Structure 1
Amino acid sequence: MAEMQSFDVVIVGAGFTGLVAANRATQLGLKVAVLERGNDEFYACNSRYAGGVLHISYHDVKDPQPVLVRAIEEITTGSADRALASALASTALRAVEWLTAEGASFAADGSISWRQRVLAPRRPPVTEMEWRGFGSDVTLRKLEQNLVKRGGELHLGTRALALIMSSDRCTGVEAQRSGRRGAYGARAVVLADGGFQADIDLLRRHISPAPQALKQRNAGTGRGDGLRMAQQAGAAVTALDAFYGHLLSRDAFQNDRLWPYPQIDELGAAGVVVDARGCRVADEGVGGVYLANAVARLADPGCATAIFDEAIWQGPGRSPSIPPNPVLIKEGGTIFEAATVAELARKAGLPERELENTLRGFNEAVQSGRYETLDPPRSARKRAPTCISNPPFYAVPICAGITYTMGGIAIDAAGRVLRPNRTPIPGLYAAGSTTGGLDGGPACGYVGGLMKAIVFGLIAAEHAAEDLPAG
């Protein structure tokens, strides 16, 4: 790597975003190199570990564009960039068709409308990280093979360090491989290395005061390299304070059979989530992703507990495909059970009087229909509240599990990286979870990581091909 190697397009990251962009660019006749930090055949990345469900804001990608845009706006409470939302919605079906032509296959997961396109073979409903030979892994390897057949280059064990800028244009990437630093010249660069969920310093700055108390519910590879490089080159960034993730049993830190499933979202959203004082921490009605963010923002994210009753345990507790009832108990997770709230508080190590007051006030507000007067207010955004009054009562110590960060590099609808004044940096693109502008907002709305990756990988490659300077 001592000498400059020259390409039309250099892509940083070989997850779905990077490999979609690379294959599309080679289809368009471009010379492409992909730089991937992982150094073995089954290099870790969130794409490989993903469940493989292709949806947009829990809607079928075949839904009409206005329906999909409205779904994005609703789930993000209007915070999503409308141009990005429109680009995602209008390109989604074409992107799925393109992926199918690349060799991906799909299977439906029951009759749920937004789970009709799951990368096949479908991953089995087990608690631990089971990925080898299933849909996302198989599809990722197919894209790798396609890239090589088309003459593209995949450089494993290569970490991008900095962008090469000539005047105001991005003209390549400085990288390190096997301890040696070198350069990859390019007429366009696509940053596609994912979020910063595995970088403790960035998490502490933007997500949580105690990031070590968050369970890494991911591949452990998202270090924010692309984000840092883009900022050094003058890029703007979106809000960086939200992430996609779920509530997990706190025992997941010691027990790998308790992550990435079962999620404790349904129990927390139907019951209440309290801190060490026995006080509610957030509006449970917004849902599990929002609750995971709320727990992460606590001064002590390791102190949260989900409180619920028998009706919730036997109802919502059995509803997900990998339900906490009975999976949590079967896999060794901690759950306290008691005939009274006071006894439950003692078992769970919570203050009796405060927990009793919290549940009494909650139940009174629900009975009166004035639950929005609670502090914090309770809404019925995703689930209407019910009284927590049917013994036995339960408590599950929980933590926030982080999958990927929602904010990132600011881009336009063509995937071009933007400066703070909203003008594009020539030659520089970004796509996937290294970017922001879609997921997030006050409700930490989840739009869908895989579709964001595939669609904007495709878009970035196509625009780069149209806009390349003479070389």
Structure 2
Amino acid sequence: MNSRENNNHKEDIQTTDVVVIGAGASGTAAALAAKQQGVNVILLEKTATQMGAGTLAGGMFAADSKQQKEKHQQVDKAWLYKKYMEVSGGFMNTRLVRKIIDEAGATVDWLNDNGALMKLTDAGVGGAYAHIGDPATLHGYQEGGSVALKKLLNAYEKSGGKAYFSTPAKELIYDEKGQITGVLAEKEDGTQLKISSKAVIIATGGFGGNAKMLKQYIGTPFTMGEISQNKGDGIKMAWKAGAAERGINVTQYFWAKFSDTEMNKIVPIVGEKWWDLTNFTRYPNLRVNMDGKRFSDETDVTLYSVHGAELHMQPHETEFVIVDSGMLAKIAKSGTAAIESQYAKWKNHPFFYMEFNEPNDTKELLKQENTPYDYTKLLDPLVGTTQTVFKANSLKALAKNMGVNESNFVNSVEKYNDAIDSGKDLEYFSNTSRLIKVSTPPYYAVKFVARNLGTLGGVRINENIQAVDENDQPIKGLYVSGADAGGMYGKAYVDFEGGTLGFAYTSGRLAGINAGQYIKSLK
């Protein structure tokens, strides 16, 4: 294939062994791992700096890292495998899943060796109360995802790797046999960059920022992903080069949030304290949907991927968390620990890691949950000024203010309260001892919408992270890692801590190693 020329711009022609498209967690890991194989590498990133979900995440999973071995906290690989099987119902690439589980521990060790500091934490430390007591899978960022990626990039560049930012890849170059021979890209000044290479690793982060693709493959309603620049570029390039599709309908609904429209109203009124409102997502209060109907076991709300998926399935991907004044009075007197202490386990054994590049410190979190907090001072200013917080002295009036069916809502509250009184939840089989009764007016409702971290598939790969065609035959020289790669999941994200980042880093590292070895086999 001949490169295209633009009469208005120069053409920069370069030659290398491996091109990596995307400088997020997976792509940066791939570039460094390939360079460490002793081959020449060029890393392309369309944004001006390293971005992506890997900069926001808290950490990655592993089964047998050095830290887990030293603390005798290895995770049973059968347990991890069964978690993947449960969430996929068998719709997963079993060989790929086993490979990632086997290699995740070595990836954590490799990251630490290269400056991206990770430390083993207990399950549930990050607020996922429902995970307390599970095996410790999460290795948390000690300096945050942004710092970790910068350190990996520094290690890559010090080893002689080239990196071009504000340089989006446009298409793959391949010969008449379909073998990859390079990449066409565009530099920031408009120069056409043609790179001849023997291998390409695609790691562009999925298509969470592409509304057209989300509508087509996820369906309506959908929520835009958290990383707006992820448009599916790499997926479409791989498909065009002959790669088959897999996992294009998988997305990571995780936790809940306020809509962008509502955030624009909330912040001018309460400022940074808006974040305190998200505490209501963590406790087993009654939830109803836009029809005024209860729809889940509320004690599972900190199984964030599970509840995120439940929320996605509701009308307009919306829920109302119902809070009564009895709960608020307890918190005003003794803090949220009066409702449910979620950090007491770590009073004498604290943990620290960074998520969203902010500290997650159990010492501080334990202190916060035991600090009295008058939430009415935060809630009341938002009543009537936003469509986020609603208040009324009766259930019927609250339903009217919320805009939900009055009969459905009152019936939902009555059944919910009856379940608490009887100790039997005949609707969703929850542990009623944890449910929080709705009995003391005035009542509040806080509205949240589904939060989509991003998509989790699109290109069919094998356990060697090679893109494959519809006959499962590898496309020579083409590797796809991270959120562009399909096969790890069935329909939703696996429910243990660190799964997505674990796949991103591990698949990226393996892609880099395998691409480097492929290059050396040609010499």
Q: TM-score, normalised by structure 1?
A: 0.81
1:173 is aligned to 2:188: no
Taking a change above 3 Å as real, the CA distance of residues 5 and 108 of structure 1, as seen in their structure-2 partners, is: same
Measure the CA separation in 1 of the matches of 2:376 and 2:137.
24
The CA deviation string for residues 13-48 of structure 1, in whole angstroms up to 9 with x for no partner, is 011111111111111111000110112xx4432222
Report the residue type matching 2:113 in the other structure.
A
1:67 is aligned to 2:73: no
CA RMSD in angstroms, aligned pairs only: 3.6
Structure 1 counterpart of 2:241: 233
Match for 1:91 among 97, 100, 103?
103
Report the residue type matching 2:168 in the other structure.
R
Measure the CA separation in 2 of the matches of 1:456 and 1:8.
19
Is the 8 Å Cα contact of residues 62 and 138 (structure 2) preserved in structure 1? Answer: no
Match for 2:402 among 319, 330, 348?
348
Structure 1 counterpart of 2:200: 189
1:300 is aligned to 2:316: yes
Measure the CA separation in 2 of the matches of 1:413 and 1:203.
27
Structure 1 counterpart of 2:292: 278
Mark the runs of 5 or more structure 2 residues left unpaired by the alignment: 1-9, 126-134, 344-359, 383-387
Taking a change above 3 Å as real, the CA distance of residues 281 and 168 of structure 1, as seen in their structure-2 partners, is: farther
The CA deviation string for residues 157-186 of structure 1, in whole angstroms up to 9 with x for no partner, is 111111112122122222122323332221
Structure 1 counterpart of 2:459: 409
The CA deviation string for residues 417-443 of structure 1, in whole angstroms up to 9 with x for no partner, is 122222221111011111122245367
Report the residue type matching 1:271 in the other structure.
L
Structure 2 counterpart of 1:119: 141
Taking a change above 3 Å as real, the CA distance of residues 107 and 91 of structure 1, as seen in their structure-2 partners, is: closer
Is the 8 Å Cα contact of residues 77 and 101 (structure 2) preserved in structure 1? Answer: yes
Mark the runs of 5 or more structure 1 residues left unpaired by the alignment: 122-134
The CA deviation string for residues 385-414 of structure 1, in whole angstroms up to 9 with x for no partner, is 847444344311111222121232221111
- How far the C-alpha of 1:200 sits from its partner, in A, is 1.2
Larger CA deviation: 228-237 vs 334-343: 334-343
Measure the CA separation in 1 of the matches of 2:91 and 2:495.
9
Taking a change above 3 Å as real, the CA distance of residues 100 and 194 of structure 1, as seen in their structure-2 partners, is: same
Measure the CA separation in 2 of the matches of 1:38 and 1:203.
21
- How far the C-alpha of 1:88 sits from its partner, in A, is 1.4
1:164 is aligned to 2:173: yes
Report the residue type matching 2:440 in the other structure.
P
Taking a change above 3 Å as real, the CA distance of residues 464 and 222 of structure 1, as seen in their structure-2 partners, is: same
- How far the C-alpha of 1:56 sits from its partner, in A, is 5.5
**Secondary structure of the equivalent of 2:193?**
strand
Measure the CA separation in 1 of the matches of 2:137 and 2:266.
29
Rg larger in structure: 2
**Within 5 Å, which residues of 2 pair with 1:11-410?**
11-39=20-48, 42-51=49-58, 53-55=59-61, 62-107=74-119, 112=125, 114=136, 117-121=139-143, 135-166=144-175, 167-177=177-187, 178-211=189-222, 214=223, 216=225, 218-239=226-247, 240-250=249-259, 251-252=262-263, 254-255=265-266, 257=272, 258=274, 262=278, 265-267=281-283, 270-275=285-290, 277-280=291-294, 285=300, 287-296=303-312, 300-301=316-317, 303-309=318-324, 319=342, 330=378, 334-362=388-416, 367=422, 369=424, 371=426, 374=427, 378=428, 386=435, 388-392=437-441, 393-410=443-460
Is the 8 Å Cα contact of residues 29 and 152 (structure 2) preserved in structure 1? Answer: yes
Is the 8 Å Cα contact of residues 204 and 233 (structure 2) preserved in structure 1? Answer: yes
Report the residue type matching 2:56 in the other structure.
Y
How many residue pairs get matched? 442
**Secondary structure of the equivalent of 2:229?**
coil
**Secondary structure of the equivalent of 1:158?**
coil
Taking a change above 3 Å as real, the CA distance of residues 243 and 327 of structure 1, as seen in their structure-2 partners, is: farther
**Secondary structure of the equivalent of 2:459?**
coil
Taking a change above 3 Å as real, the CA distance of residues 379 and 233 of structure 1, as seen in their structure-2 partners, is: farther
**Secondary structure of the equivalent of 1:222?**
coil
Report the residue type matching 2:516 in the other structure.
A
Measure the CA separation in 2 of the matches of 1:145 and 1:306.
45
Greater relative contact order (Cα < 8 A, sep 6+): 2
The percentage of aligned residue pairs carrying the same residue is 24
Is the 8 Å Cα contact of residues 77 and 443 (structure 1) preserved in structure 2? Answer: no
**Secondary structure of the equivalent of 1:401?**
strand
1:457 is aligned to 2:508: yes
Measure the CA separation in 1 of the matches of 2:27 and 2:493.
29
Is the 8 Å Cα contact of residues 250 and 492 (structure 2) preserved in structure 1? Answer: no
Measure the CA separation in 2 of the matches of 1:189 and 1:173.
8
The CA deviation string for residues 320-373 of structure 1, in whole angstroms up to 9 with x for no partner, is 8779987897597643344542232133232221211233345556748463xx
Is the 8 Å Cα contact of residues 460 and 467 (structure 2) preserved in structure 1? Answer: yes
Taking a change above 3 Å as real, the CA distance of residues 105 and 233 of structure 1, as seen in their structure-2 partners, is: same
Q: TM-score, normalised by structure 2?
A: 0.74
- How far the C-alpha of 1:299 sits from its partner, in A, is 5.7
- How far the C-alpha of 1:306 sits from its partner, in A, is 2.8
Measure the CA separation in 2 of the matches of 1:13 and 1:87.
23
Is the 8 Å Cα contact of residues 266 and 317 (structure 1) preserved in structure 2? Answer: no
Measure the CA separation in 2 of the matches of 1:99 and 1:190.
19
